[in-house]
Amino acid sequence: MAAARRKRAPVAAGLLLVLLLLPFAAAPSRAATPARSPSTASSTALFQLQGDVYPTGHYTVTMNIGDPAKPYFLDVDTGSELTWLQCDAPCQSCNKVPHPWYRPTKNKLVACADSLCTALHNGQGADKKCPSPQQCDYRIKYTDNASSLGVLVTDSFTLPLRNSSNVRPSLTFGCGYDQQVGRNGAVQAATDGLLGLGKGSVSLLSQLKQLGITKNVLGHCLSSSGGGFLFFGDDVVPTSRVTWAPMARSTSGNYYSPGSAALYFDRRSLGVKAVEVVFDSGSTYTYFVAQHYQAVVSALKGGLSKSLTQVSDPSLPLCWKGQKSFKSVSDVKKEFKPLLLRFDNDKKDVMEIPPENYLIVTKNGNVCLGILDGSAAKLSFNVIGDITMQDQMVIYDNERGQLGWVRGSCSRSAKSLSFLP
């Protein structure tokens, strides 16, 4: 993942500890205030999503943080673990954002000795020493050279549960006072920060598990017509029709991966070596390593009729125009064949990728390939991004060590979906 959303790839982070000279005292503890009994571990927090793949380029969730609670729009990212807000601490380099910058109070700082500070530093392969024992400094750097620098803080999150009640735990996240993302301050950013839902212990999901509020399970359903939903917990996970693949240990980082997969086009093998696959909601589009990308492009071009002509479009690198402008992928999908990933596990699980999950139609009426060449980001694995995860529930079950996916409508509220139990 990275903060420049259209072409972002999973994080390749290196941690740099930088002292923030804040006149704050470290928070004495990270005690939760769930206001519920430990039995709430069976609860599920539900959130509506906003956004789309095109033209918005991301899906966001509104998180209410602080006391009193204030809303913040966060980019949903399963490719990284640290949640952070653009923060007035004071801000050294920040974007214009939808809401006022988050302002920490002096009792919110996380000390260097805190276990989550140690976990964050260890996860980034950095020196465990802090410039100041009173605070936990971080710098997260992404593959597109974007970065966030700040300190860890704690504050209350108001989480809506499926039973219509709320819970307000105190959770740890990043107060980012120096963001290097695009042209800082020159344009209005669409989000106030990032919701990190990766596998590490700093992830909000892991913290909720430790507090006994939800199980370490999350899922999202991204609608191709815009919006969708996100959940933490397991009591809305379907009991049937889900394809489950065991999580593999990622060779490239602490990512959600079902392992290596072979690539097929129209049910025929493309004859390329199987490579690792990573699920990343922080990537708008899907990225393939060079050999896989070139094989897909060659197969696609070989199957197109003469009614489509390659054309330049500012939206994506590879696009075609028809004899008349397209209004949706439905107008042109008959020209394209489905892709398929066959995972190298005992069950040989498959993920089908129909044209709707790798094409977009732009405002110019052209159809474009939403699979990009990962060479620029020096990726050694394939990234399944939002475009390919649309119109299906994708489940990240850290309790059982498995990833699941099942097709269904994502355009209604979470409680009314047809594939819920």
> At residue 41, does pLDDT exceed 70?
no
* 37, 150 Cβ separation under 8 angstroms: no
- Segment 174-212, tens digit of pLDDT: 999 998 765 544 457 899 999 999 999 999 999 999 999
Residues 6+ apart with CB under 8 A from 86: 94, 95, 97, 101, 102, 176, 179, 189, 192, 193
- Segment 335-348, tens digit of pLDDT: 999 999 999 988 88
For the chain, the average pLDDT equals: 87
Residues in a beta bridge with 398: none
CA dihedral (69, 70, 71, 74) positive or negative: negative
What is the percent of the chain with per-residue pLDDT over 70, rounded to a whole number?
84
The catalytic residues are 77, 280
Mean of the pLDDT values across residues 289-306?
Answer: 97
| Burial letters 83-95, b for 16+ CB under 10 A, else e | bbbbbebebeebb
In 10 A of CB 265, how many CB atoms? 20
Residues in a beta bridge with 319: 311, 368
Dist. CA 154–CA 382, nearest whole Å = 35
Residue 387 is inside which H or E element, if any? helix 386-389
**Beta strands 70-77; 193-196: pairing state:** parallel
The pLDDT assigned to 421 comes to 45
* 385, 280 Cβ separation under 8 angstroms: yes
- Segment 287-297, tens digit of pLDDT: 999 999 999 99
What is the percent of the chain with per-residue pLDDT over 90, rounded to a whole number?
72
Residue 323, both tokens: 């004899």
More confident: 86 or 5: 86
Dist. CA 352–CA 365, nearest whole Å = 26
